[in-house]
Structure 1
Amino acid sequence: MTQQNTRYTRTPRSEKLKWVDYVVNLMDNQFSFPGTKWRFGLDPILGLFPVVGDLASFSVSAMLVLTMARHGASGKLVALMLLNIALDFTIGSIPVLGNIFDFAFKANERNVRMLRRHYEEGKYQGSGKGIILGALIGIAVLLVLVVWALWELAEWVYYLIVS
């Protein structure tokens, strides 16, 4: 089997998205560690700047997803792409662990691979409403757990101080 080329098959639609490949390469694969095949881009470097860097990376990723959606990505594919960048943003915001995660996860590259499969293989057809609903329910459950944990922590601190 031959290794699949990292570029799109040249079609009128892929020509319109040529710059997406360029931005994804810049964000996820522009540089390499000397003597290795391991590549990284601006995303993990921007992640070294708390809040501002993560917001900049998220903005670029969101812009890429928006562009891909405008050029025919299905609702389900866009929902999956948004989950990728939300995961990258959420975990990437954690100090130290997030920086390591940014070097390995490469959400933009994953999104372009999904887009390529969408165009070439016809996958990811249909609506992404179920995925979005599931993500919203998961976020709501997580929020409830965080509020509960903070409440328990506040009670413990209160009793520690009062006692």
Structure 2
Amino acid sequence: MTNDTVATTDPRLSRVRRLARWLDRSIPIGGGRRIGIDPLLGLLPGGGDALGAMLSCYILFEAALLGLPVRTLGRMLGNIAIESIVGIVPLFGDLFDFAWQANVRNVRLIETAYRPDRPTRSGAGVICLIAAVCALLLALIVAATWWLVSALWSLLPI
């Protein structure tokens, strides 16, 4: 079985492809463009971007279990962090999220780096590492949101 055949039949890859499509490209909006639920989640004040980041971290988790190189996992985390941090900016962040599509980018990275002959990682260690990284990312999103709201609040003439 070739790498291409395994890549198309592996249920883990199918699962992350479906999730990425759902998050970034599931809803046609006309003109050949599509939007997913991730930018729409970003419209929810306070927690939408954090929820989107957590869903994106699942794709990162699956990539880690597949045994992808740490460098690739770092690039994937960077895509999630960029989308999540920029996503907290009202309206601009949602437009950026629509254009950036971190989940689709991350699936492309998985498809490029995945080798079926590479040993997979154990679930327990990966779960702990990804949970810690996601908690740190969530804390960063909350802190940046707090800072942005405080900055905008200080501009109001009260």
TM-score of the superposed pair, with normalisation by structure 2: 0.67
- Other-structure match for 1:28: 24
The Cα of 1:97 is off from its aligned counterpart by: 0.9
Deviations 1:59-117 (A, max 9, x none): 00011101111111110000000010000000011111101101100000001111111
Partner SS, residue 10 of structure 1: helix
1:87 aligns with 2:114: no
Q: What secondary structure sits across from 1:84 in the alignment? A: helix
* 2:12–2:62 Cα contact (<8 Å) kept: no
**Matched-pair identity in %:** 30
Q: Once the 2 structures are TM-superposed, how far is the Cα of residue 17 of structure 1 from its aligned partner?
A: 2.3
Larger radius of gyration: 1
- Rate the CA distance shift 1:10–1:50 in 2: closer, same or farther, 3 A: farther
Q: What is the identity, as a one-letter code, of the residue corresponding to 1:100?
A: L
| One-letter amino acid matched to 1:54 | D
- Tell me the residue number matched to 2:13: 17
| CA displacement at 1:15 relative to structure 2 | 2.9
Q: Could you state the TM-score of these two structures normalised by the residue count of structure 1?
A: 0.65
List aligned pairs for 1:39-58, cutoff 5 A.
Answer: 39-58=34-53
The alignment covers a number of residue pairs equal to: 115
User: Runs of at least 4 residues of structure 1 off by over 6 A?
Assistant: none
Q: Which amino acid counterpart does residue 9 of structure 1 have in structure 2?
A: D
Conserved? CA contact 2:39–2:94, under 8 Å? yes
Superposed CA offset, 1:19-51 (max 9, x none): 1111111000101113x1111100111011122
Cα distance in 1 for partners of 2:75, 2:12 equals 22
Contact 2:66–2:114 (CA under 8 A) maintained in structure 1: no
